[in-house]
Amino acid sequence: MFVIGNTLVSLDVVEKEFCCNLDVCRGACCIEGDAGAPVSDEELATIRHLMPRLQAEMTHEAREVVEKQGLSYLDPSGEQVLSIVNDKDCIFARTDHRGWTYCLIEKAGFEKPISCHLYPIRLTKVGEMTGVEYHRWDICHCGRVLGKKNHIPLYRFLREPLIRAFGQEWYDELELTATEWHKQCKQSNNS
């Protein structure tokens, strides 16, 4: 782990390679799983404000879920997450004519929740700090393969959402930390 500001960054974030391969997965992370995407109170307030615009585009099933249980719920760990349809699909997920899943929030021109933008990085609370961890999920195998093929470190693939979450200065420190880490690893391997 690396300490950067008030975050604990998993070694996997700088060591693993990853690049979403939507040609293969078609956005499966929005429609697979057993819980909704983590969402903050601020993000929920924004989504509530957008609902008149989003509701018309949502599936009938998604609108029913929102009517019955609301936009979000607390998962078993006590984290607030977006509601889901049929125990797996995000209420804001839609599928186009090609079978690709897209986010209605993003399609409406707004930022999707940071937990979605950062995936496969997950943020967790570690006391007063935030854990920045790589979450491995079988449906993202194609992203690991493409990242490895193109030599794209996870933190570089997620540059934009990491800057959105923590700021440019934090990201610059992560980049420097990763560079130094890889340099040390290379020296150790050559010894």
One digit per residue, the tens of pLDDT, for the chain of length 191 reads 899 999 999 999 999 999 999 889 888 888 887 788 999 999 999 999 999 999 999 999 999 999 999 999 998 888 999 999 998 899 999 999 988 899 999 999 999 999 999 999 999 988 899 999 999 988 899 999 999 999 999 999 999 999 999 999 999 999 999 999 888 877 777 76
- For residue 65, give every residue at least 6 positions away whose Cβ sits within 8 Å of its Cβ, in sequence order, or none: 83, 84, 85, 91
Decide: 57 and 107 in contact? Cβ < 8 Å: yes
Residue 52 CB coordination number (10 Å):
8
Residue the block writes with tokens 């021109």:
109
Provide the whole-model pTM.
Answer: 0.90
